[in-house]
Structure 1
Amino acid sequence: MKCVICKHGETRPGKTTVTLERDGLTLVFRNVPAEVCENCGEAYVDEATARDLMRRAEEAAEAGVMVDIREYAGKAAQG
């Protein structure tokens, strides 16, 4: 797909880091699958992955986590 940020690059499958912050909670997920622009590096996470990240963030918030860095293992590893 054409990048909506730089308007020049095409996206390719890759990995990105996603940082989520809310109410004093900071979560960093590394190696998240995404479509990454070859020109500017903007990353696009698909809807299922975004939903999974938000679910994990809610669980961390409920557990009282304040700061955490995690490797994203994907939904299959959650079984």
Structure 2
Amino acid sequence: MTCPLCKHGETAPGTVTVTLQRGESTVILKGVPASVCENCGEYYLDEATTSHVYAIAERAVRDGAEVQIRRYAA
């Protein structure tokens, strides 16, 4: 698909690092599957992956993590 952001690149399957912050908590997930633009590097997660990423981050915040770095696992 053509990247909706830059309008020049095509997206291709790849993996990315996602960083989420809420309050004093920072959650970093490495190796998250995504569609990545070859031109600008913007990435897009599908709905199931997004839900899983948010669930992981929510658990970390609930557990009081200040910084948590994890490898993504489906």
Q: State the partner residue of 1:8.
A: 8
Q: State the partner residue of 1:60.
A: 60
Report deviation, 1:61. Answer: 1.1
Letter in 2 for 1:60: A
Q: Counterpart of 1:65 in 2: which secondary structure?
A: coil
In the alignment, structure 1 residue 45 sits paired with structure 2 residue 45: yes
In the alignment, structure 1 residue 73 sits paired with structure 2 residue 73: yes
Runs of 5+ in structure 1 lacking a partner? 75-79
The percent identity for this pair of structures is 54
Q: State the partner residue of 1:28.
A: 28
Report deviation, 1:46. Answer: 0.7
Q: Distance in 2 between matches of 1:9 and 1:47?
A: 22
Q: Distance in 2 between matches of 1:63 and 1:34?
A: 27
Report deviation, 1:5. Answer: 1.0
Q: Counterpart of 1:57 in 2: which secondary structure?
A: helix
Q: Distance in 2 between matches of 1:71 and 1:2?
A: 28
Q: TM-score, normalised by structure 2?
A: 0.95
Q: TM-score, normalised by structure 1?
A: 0.90
Give the CA RMSD over aligned residues.
0.7
Report deviation, 1:9. Answer: 0.5
- Displaced runs of 4 or more, over 3 A: none
Q: Counterpart of 2:18 in 1: which secondary structure?
A: strand
Q: Distance in 1 between matches of 2:73 and 2:55?
A: 14
